[in-house]
Amino acid sequence: MQIDIISVFPEYFDVTGLSLLGKAQEKGLVTIKAHNLRDWTHDVHHSVDSTPVGGGAGMVMKPEVWAECLDDLLGLDPANLTMPSDGEATAQPDAEADAGQSNRNTVEAGQEHVNPSVEDGPVLIFPNPSAPLFTQADATALSHADRLVFGCGRYEGYDARIPTYYRSQGIDVREYSIGDYVLNGGEVAVSVMLEAITRLLPGFMGNPESIVQESYTGDEPLLEYRQYTRPTTWRGLGVPEILTSGDHGKVDRFRRDEAIRRTSRIRPDLVARMDCSSLDKQDRRL
């Protein structure tokens, strides 16, 4: 997988050389390159932002500099590009823009992700706090892409026409929020998505089993049961006795019960989305 990241602070991504992600790059599973957006500016101040149309506080990232950078990285020749008609180029109302998010259906903005699958070609991803939430299902789908290009917003964000324009050029463009809070820039959000995606690449984990039974994973996106290690008594606290019984069937049942109970209590929204036909008799009792 090839990953390009565009940022005004590319140094943020120096840490991708560490730990398991560093090893994955050494093994050739993934290449990560961080680019400085200012390298595509032409003015003496290398400016990437301007005041918001319509007024208001802060600055907005300019589309021209993003387009030069993206055309370059995506290998698009601006001379051969189809120019969207005025109507298409104008920023769309939210509902229309959400519908334009490739391969994605939103039941309610930011909630249900029905089909996040990836087709051939690069996927262009912009972190955005006002976009649908990034989930494990998105990470799984994106781990099958050959190429990801991430664009980190700053200031009040990027000009809304940038994703609209690249969608109109046939690029799979996605915008994701990593949670209901606002960060200073997209760098941390990209780091989160990058890690969630790359750890799913075949060969990334020493033991591939460790990503099979995890929270949010699989057809039943439950929270994981609680985990313990030795000693079995620590500072007066024991572990559930059944886990030391050696009876794997009972241990599996105990863990599944716990996963269902915890998910119902902590994340009832996940249970509400579960396909109940996958529940067995014992599950239904809970």
Q: State which of residues 10, 157, 163, 221 lies at the interface with ligand SAM (CB under 6 A).
A: 157
Which residues face 32 on adjacent strands? 3
Region for residue 271 given its phi and psi (left: phi exceeds 0; alpha: psi -120 to 50; beta: otherwise): alpha
Does 186 engage in binding with ligand SAM (CB under 6 A)? yes
Q: State which of residues 10, 127, 132, 163 lies at the interface with ligand SAM (CB under 6 A).
A: 127
> Tokens at residue 96, please?
């229309």
Does 10 engage in binding with ligand SAM (CB under 6 A)? no
Q: CA 52, CA 59: separation in Å to the nearest integer? A: 6
Report the residue closest to ligand SAM, judged by CB. 153
Q: Using the rule CB under 6 A, give the single segment among 5-13, 142-150, 173-181, 195-203 that binds ligand SAM.
A: 173-181
Q: State which of residues 2, 115, 184, 245 lies at the interface with ligand SAM (CB under 6 A).
A: 184
With respect to ligand SAM, which residue has the nearer C-beta, 90 or 130?
Answer: 130
181 is in an annotated binding site: yes
User: What residues contact 109, with CB distance under 8 A and at least 6 apart?
Assistant: 94, 98, 132
> Tokens at residue 155, please?
């200031």
- Asked if omega into 208 is within 30° of 0 (cis), the reply is no
With respect to ligand SAM, which residue has the nearer C-beta, 183 or 279?
Answer: 183
With respect to ligand SAM, which residue has the nearer C-beta, 124 or 260?
Answer: 124
Q: CA 261, CA 197: separation in Å to the nearest integer? A: 28
User: What residues contact 5, with CB distance under 8 A and at least 6 apart?
Assistant: 13, 32, 33, 34, 35, 149, 150, 152, 190, 194
With respect to ligand SAM, which residue has the nearer C-beta, 25 or 50?
Answer: 50
CA distances (Å), 175 to each of 13, 62, 111, 138, 234, in order? 20, 17, 13, 11, 45
Does 183 engage in binding with ligand SAM (CB under 6 A)? yes
With respect to ligand SAM, which residue has the nearer C-beta, 63 or 129?
Answer: 129
- In whole angstroms, how close is the CB of 125 to ligand SAM at the nearest point? 10
CA 49 from centroid of its chain's CA atoms: 25
Does 181 engage in binding with ligand SAM (CB under 6 A)? yes
- In whole angstroms, how close is the CB of 147 to ligand SAM at the nearest point? 20
Q: CA 45, CA 43: separation in Å to the nearest integer? A: 6
With respect to ligand SAM, which residue has the nearer C-beta, 179 or 208?
Answer: 179
249 is in an annotated binding site: no
Q: Using the rule CB under 6 A, give the single segment among 32-40, 127-135, 223-231, 248-256 that binds ligand SAM.
A: 127-135
Does 116 engage in binding with ligand SAM (CB under 6 A)? no
- Is the Cβ–Cβ distance between 223 and 266 less than 8 Å? yes
- Going 188 to 189 to 193 to 196, the CA torsion angle's sign is positive
81 is in an annotated binding site: no
B/e letters for 22-42, b = 16+ CB within 10 Å, e = fewer, are eebbeeeebebebbbbbebbe
Size of the site for ligand SAM (CB under 6 A): 20
Q: Using the rule CB under 6 A, give the single segment among 177-185, 227-235, 245-253, 264-272 that binds ligand SAM.
A: 177-185
Residues annotated in the binding site for S-adenosyl-L-methionine, as ranges? 153, 178-183
Specify binding-site residues: 153, 178-183
**Could you list the residues that contact ligand SAM (CB under 6 A)?**
127-130, 152-154, 156-158, 177-179, 181-186, 189
